[in-house]
Amino acid sequence: MTWSEMQPLLEQACWDTLYMVGWSTVIAIVGGLPLGILLVLTDRGGLLQNTVLNKVIGQVVNIARSMPFIILMVALMGFTRSITGTTIGREAAIVPLAIGAIPFFARLVETAVREVDGGLVEAVQSMGGNTWTVVRKVLVPESLPSLISSTTTTIVALIGYSAMAGTVGAGGLGDIAIRYGYQRFETELMWITVGVLAVVISLIQFAGDYAARGLHRRGGQSGAAPRLRLLRSRAAANSGSQASVGTGQSAGPADADTSAEEPAADVSKVA
């Protein structure tokens, strides 16, 4: 097979792989991010402590993660057909890819969120922040570099999953490697496909690491500790102002009584 014959096949396969991985990543983030945060919030000592719910969610996540992707893909064929109308092609491959990636990403999110300094959470709570405020203002922003790294890891894993999806006609680079490289003994095309996959994964990993390092440098070295001190000082100032207001209100009637007694004393002196 000449390069002019390989080129259109590789271009279409690359676009198919990026299409499948892109949509699967979006769905994995939308489903895995709240699931991972919920695992932290419902854990023992969490803001929404619920041991039963935490164990149920954790067990479902563990079962889904333990299933090999090729088996998961076959097991979900009926569900995939009911959603997309088919079990082959890149649209059909998105369903098992996303379902397999959600629990994987959820565990990574859980690990990232657990690394957030508990003092920041306590400081926000002392200022009257509710659970949603803690999640939005503390847990997600403080764990953002780790979340970026987790997303990068998920994308790399999804590229590997998409290659396996090619064995059942999902398209993409895995399909090219199987149909041409293995079944038709086009060894050169197979190794080119492997090289393209290596380049794509390296670029994605580099971009993810660069973004995570940038966020860490911008907010890591002087981020958590100063914010913690600032939040605590604000909480102390708020409590101090509330205490002073309370003291002023309680001292008001006494001052009024004293001022009322002073004219009487002056009148007795005049008399």
242: confidence class by pLDDT, cuts 50, 70, 90: low
pLDDT at position 253, please? 47
pLDDT at 225 > cutoff 50: no
Chain-wide mean pLDDT for the chain? 82
Same domain, 17 and 51: yes
The residue with greater pLDDT, 52 or 259, is: 52
Q: Tokens for 202, please give them.
A: 């390296």
Convert the pLDDT of each residue in 77-87 to its tens digit. 899 999 988 88
Q: Tokens for 63, please give them.
A: 């079962």
Provide mean pLDDT across the span 177-184.
82
pLDDT at position 227, please? 55
- d(C-alpha 100, C-alpha 215), whole Å: 28
Same domain, 162 and 88: yes
Same domain, 235 and 207: no
Same domain, 121 and 254: no
Q: Of 183, 200, 221, which marks where a domain is finished? A: 221
- d(C-alpha 28, C-alpha 157), whole Å: 12
Same domain, 141 and 113: yes
- Per the structure, the complete domain to which residue 265 belongs is given by 230-271
User: In CATH, what number is assigned to the domain containing residue 103?
Assistant: 1.10.3720.10
Same domain, 207 and 235: no
Same domain, 235 and 106: no
Same domain, 41 and 132: yes
Q: Under DSSP, is residue 162 helix (H, G, I), strand (E, B) or coil?
A: helix
* String of DSSP letters for 73-87: HHHTHHHHHHHHS-S
Q: Alpha-carbon dihedral of residues 123, 127, 132, 133, nearest 10 degrees?
A: -80
Same domain, 209 and 241: no
Among 52-66, 190-204, 248-262, the range scoring the smallest mean pLDDT is: 248-262
Same domain, 159 and 195: yes
Among 115-119, 193-197, 224-228, the range scoring the smallest mean pLDDT is: 224-228
Same domain, 234 and 183: no
pLDDT at position 248, please? 52
- Report percent pLDDT > 70 for the chain: 80
Provide mean pLDDT across the span 179-198.
86
Convert the pLDDT of each residue in 135-180 to its tens digit. 998 999 999 999 999 999 999 999 989 888 877 778 888 888 888 8
- d(C-alpha 236, C-alpha 110), whole Å: 31
pLDDT at position 195, please? 92
pLDDT at 222 > cutoff 50: no
Same domain, 135 and 38: yes
Provide mean pLDDT across the span 218-230.
52
Provide mean pLDDT across the span 37-41.
94
Name the CA radius of gyration of the chain, rounded.
30
- How many domains is the chain built from? 2
Q: Under DSSP, is residue 167 helix (H, G, I), strand (E, B) or coil?
A: helix
